[in-house]
Amino acid sequence: GENVEQHPSTLSVQEGDSAVIKCTYSDSASNYFPWYKQELGKRPQLIIDIRSNVGEKKDQRIAVTLNKTAKHFSLHITETQPEDSAVYFCAALSGSARQLTFGSGTQLTVLP
Amino acid sequence: DAGITQSPRHKVTETGTPVTLRCHQTENHRYMYWYRQDPGHGLRLIHYSYGVKDTDKGEVSDGYSVSRSKTEDFLLTLESATSSQTSVYFCAITRDIVNEQFFGPGTRLTVL
């Protein structure tokens, strides 16, 4: 089955700096890669996704890049703000029932 | 929130007792999932469903069973709860075609 690895597990940045989280996946058939943000005590929320026919996607301060050859994808957050502090999860979709396999998460802390 | 509710939201039970968690959706989605979330493990798939009475096992299915007799309801049962099943349980649906997966609010289960 699919295996997703995520790094780093914790990341601290100064407010206004950029943050980058990286994931690798194993199943070359995976074709959809979402990112979720989870605040303490809340459900994971989909923040951005990318499909295998696209190399980069942006939405305001967040962007995701995908390298299918190397089987890795990354989340980039620019001009970080304290409200960006949360746990971020990457995932890869495979299987006939649209199953997602998740990375183990990155705790992002934005220091004021 | 994709019209997903979970009940109960919190439950404390004793080892050896049966427990059933309910996930209810209002948007008639075909695919539904049960995950558990534990520190250091991210989100792990327990069982999933791809239609009424169509279910299959995920990564961590031992000790759990599911049923889906109606499109809108997906039940997760712990036949005999153990302390290792103390966790936060999330239900999710996938919006078909676009593959976007959305989560319910979660159920915090404590097995004493």
Please name the member of B42, B50, B104 whose beta carbon is closest to the beta carbon of A105.
Answer: B42
- What is the pLDDT at residue A97? 81
What percent of chain B clears pLDDT 90, i.e. is strictly above it? Answer: 89
- What is the pLDDT at residue A1? 81
- What is the pLDDT at residue B39? 83
Q: How far apart are CA B22 and CA B33, in angstroms?
A: 11
Give the helix ranges, DSSP H, for B1-112.
none
SS (H, E, C) A30-85: CCEEEEEEECCCCCCEEEEEEECCCCEEEECCEEEEEECCCCEEEEEECCCCHHHC
Residues of chain A positioned with their CB less than 8 A from the CB of B31: 97-98
Please name the member of B31, B99, B103 whose beta carbon is closest to the beta carbon of A43.
Answer: B103
- What is the pLDDT at residue B62? 96
pLDDT in tens, A68-110: 999 999 999 999 999 999 999 999 998 888 889 999 999 999 9
- What is the pLDDT at residue B5? 97
Report, as an integer, the average pLDDT of A27-43. 94
Please name the member of B42, B50, B102 whose beta carbon is closest to the beta carbon of A97.
Answer: B50
Q: Given an 8 Å threshold on Cβ–Cβ distance, is A98 in contact with B101? A: yes
Q: Does residue B104 register a pLDDT over 80?
A: yes
pLDDT in tens, B67-100: 999 999 999 999 999 999 999 999 999 987 788 9
Report, as an integer, the average pLDDT of A34-50. 96
- What is the pLDDT at residue B107? 98
Residues of chain A positioned with their CB less than 8 A from the CB of B100: 34, 46, 49
Q: Given an 8 Å threshold on Cβ–Cβ distance, is B40 in contact with A104? A: yes
Q: How far apart are CA B91 and CA A23, in angstroms?
A: 24
Mutation target to probe the B interface, by most B beta carbons within 10 A, among A102, A104, A106, A107 is A102
